[in-house]
Amino acid sequence: MNVTDILESFLFNKDLIRIFLLILAISFLKLIIQLIQAKKINSKINDLANNSIELTPEEFMLIRNKRLYDEKARHANIKNFPGVYILHNKTKDLYYVGQSIKVLDRIGNHFKGRGNGDVYADFKYGDQFTIRTIALENSEFSNLNDLERYAIRFFGAYEKGYNRNKGNKSK
């Protein structure tokens, strides 16, 4: 049996054609669903970068950890951005302000115990938190240090919050 015979038997076998079309339709549907999910995640991350939404740590982790298109890495990795993040302990009305070149990664670290120990302890023991960010490119500041110092001052994160200093000095 040569290639022509195999091709002819395939083309005249209605069951094989139906199976092929079904597989093609399922693959296309899966792609459409993933494109819609990516658009929603990207929109949430853009809103977060523009400081136009607040997320709980649980909502944040769902967005941050989503994998699409059979990706090995998290989809949010392509949307990571430099900026500051504001963690608000709503239970105690305390703030923590930090900065990072990759804000989404850094925020996740705080809620996994690899950030400010006091923030993590309060989160672990049930205090309610919200997360906000300000992307450096969406701010009026030219560097992260100035933006962070401003946010620490604005939210009172040094005087009555978790921050142990007033921010990094500009170089």
With beta carbons less than 8 A apart as the criterion, state whether 120 and 111 touch: yes
Determine the Cα–Cα distance for residues 58 and 8; give it in Å rounded to an integer.
55
* Nearest-5° Cα angle at 58, 54 to 60: 50
CA 68, CA 76: separation in Å to the nearest integer? 10
Q: Give the pLDDT of residue 111.
A: 93
Q: Please tell me the predicted confidence (pLDDT) of residue 150.
A: 94
Average pLDDT, consecutive stretches of 10 residues, N- to C-terminus, the chain (171 residues): 69 74 89 83 76 88 78 72 96 97 93 94 97 92 94 95 87 53
Q: Which of 141, 133, 106, 140 is nearest to 45 (CA)?
A: 133
The phi-psi region of residue 113 (left if phi > 0; otherwise alpha if psi is between -120 and 50; otherwise beta) is left
Q: Which of the 8 DSSP states describes residue 110?
A: H
Predicted pLDDT of residue 78: 77
Q: Say if CB 159 and CB 105 are below 8 A apart.
A: no
